[in-house]
């Protein structure tokens, strides 16, 4: 699929997912309240982090190998399923042995009756996400963007529908109900992703496992560090403030992540093109980066002008306090949006060292600033710390991209109109 068509398909699917995702988040915010929404944010961040740590190397390897060797797609699917089966056994044993200790560790934030069930649901959800994302990564590598985009659309439709059903039929839905619906949505969309990859082939997984680990490990470390660079603030707000404060701050994070979808659309479509050698002169990645920068600025202006009204109407009045931290995160979001496109290009060339050390340093900077600023500034301190960390990462990636490509600054930062 050519880049323009792929971008259109991905943009359409992401736009639909974006709209339904906002509706789902608004429903969750109203359904769970600030404290419940804060608890869900902490659990969700942990699940997504665990998914990255144990499964992202498979995803990155699947995309890379499927892109270069399409005939091995069925073998990659088999590897993903074998790895997930092993993880299931390990998770079951680990939770059986460490469950009581882990439940006691989180009992100050969740009631005792919820702690153990939440751990089991979180474990099941992590396994399901590894399978879903592993299969979806194969579709991305094969450049089957229509099928690739069906998966998140199906997921959010089921997730939103399930939560709406909960709200209509359950008097006081809690985090366990939501985690159950989340699991069902991931499972159904994962089945579709697996079916789209074709029938898995029985094989000795060890040779392919070594190749996948070699190819995907650097990308997995990079992705995990970038995730922590932004999401570590969830843990810090929860620890240094309260679940209610975290629930409010989570709304700012959700909207910020929606804004980040803009560069992610382009980066997702760009990755297989770069791996196939279709952006040797950097024109494609530069134009997309510059367009993303312009759109990010427009979206940020809209957030500043209408953000408070939007948050109050969509998420309800108790979450109005998310407006200030959201505005404080905007400079970092704009800078990182442009850098994300450049980072995708660097990733496709083999993950040079900057893709590892830049998010690592930004993570340390973010954590340090949060510990210093949250006690004095509250949520504004958390947002400021995150924005500063993102700007540092963006500058580091942009400088490294220039050094890697040898491009002059005026071409790197010029508007796309200058290259027509």
Distance of CA 273 to the CA centre of its chain: 21
Mean pLDDT of 97-119: 65
Q: CB within 8 A of 409, min separation 6: which ones?
A: 402
- The answer to whether the CB of 64 falls within 8 A of the CB of 143 is no
Structure tokens at 330: 């905007």
- pLDDT tens digits, 131-180: 999 999 999 888 888 888 899 999 999 999 999 999 999 878 889 999 99
Length of the chain: 420
Confidence label for 418 from pLDDT (cuts 50, 70 and 90):
very low
Cα–Cα distance, 288 to 11 (Å, whole number):
13
Per-residue pLDDT of 221-275, as tens digits, reads 988 998 999 899 999 998 899 989 999 999 999 999 888 776 556 555 555 555 4
How many whole angstroms separate alpha carbon 20 and alpha carbon 34?
A: 21
The average pLDDT across 208-223 equals 82
Q: What is the mean pLDDT of the chain?
A: 84
Instruction: Describe the crossing of helices 283-315 and 243-275 by its angle, rounded to 10 degrees.
Output: 160
More confident residue, 132 or 99: 132
Distance CA 79, CA 22 (A): 34
**What DSSP string describes 320-351?**
GGGHHHHHHHHHHHHHHHHHHHHHHHHHHTT-
356: Cβ–Cβ under 8 A, 6 or more apart, which residues? 218, 221, 222, 225
Among 90-94, 203-207, 291-295, 357-361, the least confident range: 203-207
* Helix residue ranges, H only, 69-144: 73-106, 112-141
SS3 content of the chain, % helix, strand, coil (to 5): 90, 0, 10
**Contact (CB, 8 A) for 327 and 305:** no
Note the pLDDT of residue 109: 58
* Domain regions of the chain by residue span: 1-203, 225-420
State both tokens at 367.
């954590």
Minimum mean pLDDT range among 17-26, 235-244, 328-337, 408-417: 408-417
Q: What is the dihedral of CA 218, 222, 223, 226, to 10 degrees?
A: 180
Burial 91-117 (b: 16+ CB within 10 A, else e): beeebeeeeeebbeebeebbeeebbbb
DSSP state of 172: S
* Tokens, residue 319: 């979450």
Q: Using H for helix, E for strand and C for coil, what is the string for 237-301?
A: HHHHCCHHHHHHHHHHHHHHHHHHHHHHHHHHHHHHHHHCCCCCCCHHHHHHHHHHHHHHHHHHH
């Amino acid at each position: 699929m050519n880049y323009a068509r792929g971008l259109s398909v991905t943009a359409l699917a992401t736009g639909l997912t974006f709209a339904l995702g906002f509706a789902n988040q608004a429903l969750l915010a109203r359904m769970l309240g600030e404290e419940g929404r804060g608890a869900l944010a902490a659990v969700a961040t942990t699940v997504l982090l665990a998914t990255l740590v144990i499964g992202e190397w498979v995803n990155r390897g699947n995309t890379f190998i499927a892109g270069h060797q399409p005939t091995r797609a069925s073998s990659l699917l088999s590897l993903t399923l074998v790895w997930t089966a092993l993880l299931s056994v390990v998770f079951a044993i680990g939770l059986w042995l460490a469950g009581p200790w882990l439940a006691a560790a989180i009992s100050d934030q969740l009631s005792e009756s919820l702690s153990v069930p939440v751990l089991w649901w979180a474990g099941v959800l992590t396994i399901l996400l590894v399978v879903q994302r592993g299969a979806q990564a194969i579709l991305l590598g094969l450049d089957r963007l229509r099928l690739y985009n069906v998966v998140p659309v199906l997921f959010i439709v089921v997730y939103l529908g399930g939560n709406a059903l909960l709200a209509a039929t359950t008097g006081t839905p809690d985090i366990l109900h939501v985690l159950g619906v989340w699991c069902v949505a991931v499972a159904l969309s994962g089945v579709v992703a697996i079916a789209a990859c074709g029938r898995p082939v029985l094989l000795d997984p060890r040779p392919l496992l070594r190749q996948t680990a070699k190819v995907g490990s650097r990308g997995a470390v990079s992705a995990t560090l970038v995730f922590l660079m932004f999401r570590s603030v969830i843990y810090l707000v929860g620890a240094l403030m309260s679940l209610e404060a975290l629930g409010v701050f989570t709304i700012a994070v959700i909207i910020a992540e929606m804004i980040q979808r803009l560069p992610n659309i382009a980066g997702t479509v760009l990755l297989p093109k770069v791996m196939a050698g279709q952006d040797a002169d950097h024109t494609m990645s530069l134009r997309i980066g510059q367009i993303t920068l312009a759109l990010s600025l427009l979206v940020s202006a809209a957030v500043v002008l209408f953000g408070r009204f939007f948050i109050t109407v969509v998420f309800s009045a108790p979450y109005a306090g998310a407006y200030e931290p959201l505005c404080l995160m905007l400079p970092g979001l704009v800078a990182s949006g442009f850098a994300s496109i450049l980072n995708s290009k660097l990733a496709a060339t083999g993950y040079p060292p900057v893709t590892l050390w830049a998010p690592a340093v930004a993570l340390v900077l973010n954590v340090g600033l949060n510990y210093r600023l949250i006690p004095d500034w509250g949520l504004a301190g958390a947002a400021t710390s995150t924005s500063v960390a993102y700007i540092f990462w963006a500058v580091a990636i942009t400088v490294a991209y220039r050094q890697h490509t040898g491009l002059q600054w005026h071409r790197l930062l010029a508007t796309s109109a200058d290259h027509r």
